[in-house]
Structure 1
């Protein structure tokens, strides 16, 4: 399988907070501070490469030390970099991720180069690829992706979309258009409600009739294969005919929730589009890999 991932590539500064009491006015001791490559395009690429796919990453970093470091990380996982470029005016995107002892994360992000992805060679990559994997990106980048899809002559290309919550909340027209072009859409339950314009959001719990009805409504609206994650209960797949529920894979301790959605979406998409496993098997494999990422401090296993 040949995959193009489009999206952000960030430098993640991950701070593992300590459960020790904090003294007023004193420095806060932490368990660790580490640097990782992150962002939806990198996380997806890492998963696809681990599964044996050929991968091109279409993204933009700054013309700085951090950008070169991320470029080297990209090469180290065996991904291709034809459309991985440097922005002349923005620094590399960065995120400071503070992870609490129970695994919940708070993210402070500097968007940098990711707010203006340069995708000059995307058209050629789409003619090469079997799968286009679009991670959460800014509206401007979605417009570029739509233009490339419109110009592509690759009628066999499959499109996977993981939408950004902000775009769903703002009901962005380009994002809606891209979602309806997708062969697979992955989002969490809160994002599904945002897309459907729900005012009062239901919590993510075990599947209920109201929840299943909402997911069916989402699939009818998009007319494609939909996977909705129910953190931390599991996930639901619906294609207009079949509904499948997969419970969350059991883990002893969550280290960090960052990147688990990317891990799930990319792993499910690979197996589902390769047509080598049944839908329940695809969901189980994705759940298992996502659980492994939940037990890692970074947004992927790299």
Structure 2
């Protein structure tokens, strides 16, 4: 086993083909290959900031799987618990290039993937419980019944061991059997987390409430220590038992690719909280990294190194 890791996450990584030119995907002839996956994006972002990160998954015994493993090695992410599964393929997706600030079109090819066969059998207590923190999203529990079971098992075991948990709902309605099933499952998972990180529209879907204040109160009542709600260009709202407030967004002059902004936000918030920063500072870092993410093409390419982040935070510090 590797030395104890700071943050553990799990999920599905896919090869990502990003269009080199704007227009409908059917008309694009050139793509650039990258990696994608909400959970992996967060792992990459935290590893770049110097955290020891472990990632659990399954990939196929194919070129896409080897590409994912090469990316993990390049980013310094521990892949001890990534299984090469020769029975099933690694998934992939296509993403359009936008010439405005709209979200790109994405097509997924992931049904029956190796990662969809993740299960409680992939759980190794000595590895998991050595981590300080578990980060979960709502994507991995949605890809299959067995992966759903693993998400709850990880959360319950880490919570019982006194470790901290962050949860980003990251809604993917098309992966669920129904909206009701999605809402019920993800709210149960959120109730096991210390920090819940929804977007405003996600929070409205999951709670039936409209305001950041009410959504924050809902998850505090469910058992969370804190809630941070992403508000897009308006920044973010945070709420704990004894304080709440808004943190302004980082201005962005040119939005290039909106995918990955929420994962960058999670990287900022989780990293700062693990460093002992107070909540407003953590939210400000989340806004900062989310803003960096949308200024370049790719899901994680805009995430900073520790040196880059330290420089940006020094420049932002009051004189």
Bucket of the pairwise TM-score, normalised by the shorter protein: 0.7 to 0.9
Which residue is equivalent to 1:267?
Answer: 268
2:195 and 2:224 in contact (8 A); partners too: no
2:7 and 2:132 in contact (8 A); partners too: yes
Matched, 1:137 2:136: no
Aligned residue among 205, 208, 213 for 1:194: 205
Q: Distance in 2 between matches of 1:164 and 1:253?
A: 24
Q: What TM-score comes out, normalization by structure 1 length?
A: 0.84
Matched, 1:13 2:17: yes
Aligned residue among 66, 69, 85 for 2:67: 69
- Distance change (3 Å), C-alpha of 1:101 and 1:85: same
Q: Distance in 2 between matches of 1:191 and 1:122?
A: 32
SS in 2 for 1:176: helix
Matches within 5 A, 1:242-253: 242-253=243-254
1:237 and 1:244 in contact (8 A); partners too: yes
Matches within 5 A, 1:30-179: 33-103=31-101, 104-111=103-110, 112-118=113-119, 120-135=122-137, 136-139=139-142, 140=145, 141-151=147-157, 155-165=161-171, 166=173, 169-172=179-182, 173-179=184-190
1:66 and 1:92 in contact (8 A); partners too: yes
Q: Distance in 1 between matches of 2:216 and 2:236?
A: 11
1:149 to partner: Cα distance:
4.4
Q: What TM-score comes out, normalization by structure 2 length?
A: 0.80
Q: Distance in 1 between matches of 2:212 and 2:279?
A: 20
SS in 2 for 1:170: helix
SS in 2 for 1:35: strand
Which residue is equivalent to 2:311?
Answer: none
SS in 1 for 2:140: coil
Which residue is equivalent to 1:285?
Answer: 285
1:213 to partner: Cα distance:
2.9
1:301 to partner: Cα distance:
1.8
Matches within 5 A, 1:207-218: 210-218=211-219
- Distance change (3 Å), C-alpha of 1:70 and 1:247: same
SS in 2 for 1:57: strand
Q: Distance in 2 between matches of 1:100 and 1:149?
A: 37
Q: Distance in 1 between matches of 2:170 and 2:141?
A: 8
- Distance change (3 Å), C-alpha of 1:164 and 1:214: closer
2:166 and 2:193 in contact (8 A); partners too: yes
2:155 and 2:165 in contact (8 A); partners too: no
2:238 and 2:245 in contact (8 A); partners too: yes
Which residue is equivalent to 2:310?
Answer: none
